[in-house]
Amino acid sequence: MILDSVGIQKILPHRYPFLLVDSILEIDRLKRIVGLKSVSINESYFQGHFPGKPVMPGVLIIEGMAQTGGLLLLLEIPDREKKLLYFAAVDEARFRRPVVPGDQLRMEVTVLKYRPAYCKLHAVATVNGEVAAEATLKCMLVDRDPVTEPSEAPADAAVGTRDE
């Protein structure tokens, strides 16, 4: 294993329950990455998708593949804490088999085109060697808005008090 969940969280801004990659097995810089997601019945989305027949939502499989690819790209960005990767497009998405609790989703992402602000990726998610989903993902690197702390108003500047 190259990165565990702690290492992943040092690179990706995602956090539980929306962090959808648990570990990274392989990295070939700016070319290819392989990540894993262990799918557990404890995932919150299984409560409603679907009761009695739990299936991982396809959009979350796509998101897991995108997060895996995002790791590969963000490794190249020196000031990545000031940046975010946004989807620009999802093309040719195909779902081949359901992903269910107990499955280990292997997500392999290959770079098709790379520029510092734009990237095109091909992603394939498999379970036990069977393709579960695949898609072409396009993403853009954008500046993250600076986090501003709300200013604290002095206690005597309360608005709308009954003493008026």
pLDDT in tens, 109-160: 999 999 989 999 999 999 999 999 999 999 999 999 876 555 555 555 444 4
* Catalytic one of 2, 9, 23, 49: 49
Of 3.40.50.1970, 3.10.129.10, 1.10.10.10, 2.40.37.10, which CATH number belongs to 5-145? 3.10.129.10
**pLDDT for 164:** 45
Three-state secondary structure of 110-164: EEEEEECCEEEEEEEEEECCEEEEEEEEEEEEEECCCCCCCCCCCHHHCCCCCCC
Phi, psi of 80 (to 5 degrees): -60, -25
**CA atoms lying within 13 Å on the CB side of residue 54:** 13
DSSP designation for 101: T
Indicate the domain borders of the chain: 5-145
Please state the pTM of the whole predicted model.
0.87
Residue 49 a catalytic site member: yes
